[in-house]
Amino acid sequence: MPPFLVRGLEAQARGFSEPRLRSAYAALVRLDQDLKGGSHVAYASPYLALQRWILDTCRALPGVDART
């Protein structure tokens, strides 16, 4: 991987605490399971489920707490 990409990824990672990264990863594992048939809603609308995970992870929904 080129050094400039590594520096960029390191800068982005600094914006997340370890607990927040762990929470995002755990939510990603749940999303993966849901998309593979664990949730009818996620299976029916995978694009929406992925968008929700991204917004939850970035805490971009005003007034809505990220799922834990």
| pLDDT attached to residue 4 | 93
| pLDDT attached to residue 59 | 75
Q: Where are the domains of the chain?
A: 17-68
- pTM summary value: 0.65
What are the residues whose beta carbons fall under 8 Å from the beta carbon of 10, sequence distance 6 or more?
Answer: none
Taking only the tens place, the pLDDT of each residue in 17-57 is 888 888 888 999 999 988 888 888 877 888 998 998 988 88
**Residues 32, 33, 38: CA angle, nearest 5 degrees:** 135
Q: In whole angstroms, how far apart are CA 21 and each of 30, 43, 53?
A: 14, 25, 13
